[in-house]
């Protein structure tokens, strides 16, 4: 059984930042990259809102730089997915899909969250070419253009309102004849002259030669007055929620009703002493790379303090 003082699960901005800080603290951390090395940021193209890159940076290049920095300070970065954990006794135990078994004094969970998609083949086809699940990340590229937001909850309203400050026109595509958002958010959308809500509408496909140029829509699908039509747009934003990648921690850590890891307010500490959560797996609000990196730093500092406290 391999032993490590600090195990990091996940390799996005939170995981890599935790690796940098724990490496510099001589904790000799082991980091498992997970299903998507570099995290969901690698699914986008250019990152323009991460400090230090005035001209923007290719997302994969940025995550590659973070990995190199991790390795520079002695973090043992490995491919593989943690498939089983046991936080019931110390040191904590984990197993990976490669059959590796480790004992760890501290664990930093940075497994992220995955955006929910409609399941259309075109979403993958145009990923990074007009399809996005983050208005704050990619809205800047659609200044004075026409975009659509799918969803009818508070998040969709927030995304649409944010995009309305940049785009020329924003359509909200809502499957039901009503929005399930809070009254204040609905009013904000309805009062915005740039936003038009398309109720009882389903997206069944996207089209375009070199990126998204429009969406194939169906009004009142399956009803006698069903109507199919195409809506010209430049960008297609998903706002139907995120799923935290925390299934492996069920029964081990306290999770909320959606699956986000509960932490003690203002800290990355979980209900298990010595286990910390960082990044989108514990953040249902901000979901930004710079916030995730900051929380990775916090988790690393907490892990170091915890090890000093227990004399390990």
278 burial type by CB count under 10 A (0-12 exposed, 13-18 middle, 19+ buried): buried
Neighbours of 301 (CB within 10 A): 16
49 burial type by CB count under 10 A (0-12 exposed, 13-18 middle, 19+ buried): middle
- Residue 61 phi/psi, 5-degree rounding, is -65, -40
Strands 235-238 and 131-132, how do they pair? parallel
Is 75 assigned a catalytic role? Answer: no
- CA-closest candidate to residue 44, choices 237, 206, 215, 209: 237
Is 70 assigned a catalytic role? Answer: no
Sequence-ordered strand ranges (E) for 45-180: 46-47, 57-58, 76-78, 82-86, 92-96, 101-109, 113-115, 131-132, 146-150, 169-173
Q: Which one of the listed residues 70, 137, 157, 297 is annotated catalytic?
A: 137
Tokens of 206: 């996207």
Is 137 assigned a catalytic role? Answer: yes
Q: Which one of the listed residues 75, 134, 157, 281 is annotated catalytic?
A: 134
Q: What is the DSSP letter of 269?
A: B
Q: Which one of the listed residues 122, 138, 280, 283 is annotated catalytic?
A: 138
Residues with catalytic function: 134, 137-138
């Amino acid at each position: 059984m391999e032993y490590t003082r600090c195990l990091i699960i996940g390799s996005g901005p939170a995981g890599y930042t935790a690796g940098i800080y724990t490496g510099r603290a001589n904790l000799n951390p082991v980091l498992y990259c997970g299903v998507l090395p570099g995290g969901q940021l690698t699914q986008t193209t250019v990152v323009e809102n991460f400090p230090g890159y005035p001209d923007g940076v290719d997302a994969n290049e940025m995550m590659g730089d973070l990995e190199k920095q991790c390795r520079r300070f002695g973090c043992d970065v490995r491919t593989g997915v943690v498939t089983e954990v046991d936080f019931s006794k110390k040191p904590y135990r984990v197993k990976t899909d490669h059959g590796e078994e480790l004992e760890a004094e501290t664990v930093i969970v940075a497994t992220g969250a995955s955006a929910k998609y409609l399941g259309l083949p075109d979403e993958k086809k145009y990923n990074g070419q007009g399809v996005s699940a983050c208005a704050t990340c990619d809205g800047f590229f659609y200044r004075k253009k026409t975009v659509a937001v799918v969803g009818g909850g508070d998040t969709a309203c927030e995304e649409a309102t944010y995009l309305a400050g940049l785009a020329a026109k924003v359509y909200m595509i809502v499957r039901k004849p009503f929005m399930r958002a809070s009254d204040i958010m609905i009013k904000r959308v309805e009062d915005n002259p740039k936003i038009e809500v398309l109720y009882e509408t389903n997206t069944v496909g996207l089209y375009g030669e070199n990126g998204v140029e429009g969406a194939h829509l169906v009004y009142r699908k399956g009803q006698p007055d069903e109507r199919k039509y195409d809506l010209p747009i430049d960008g297609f934003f998903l706002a139907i929620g995120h799923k935290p990648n925390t299934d492996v921690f069920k029964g081990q850590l306290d999770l909320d009703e959606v699956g986000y890891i509960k932490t003690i307010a203002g800290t990355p500490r979980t209900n298990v002493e010595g286990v910390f959560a960082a990044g989108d797996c514990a953040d249902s609000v901000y979901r930004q790379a710079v916030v995730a990196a900051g929380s990775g730093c916090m988790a690393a500092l907490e892990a170091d303090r915890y090890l000093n406290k227990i004399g390990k």
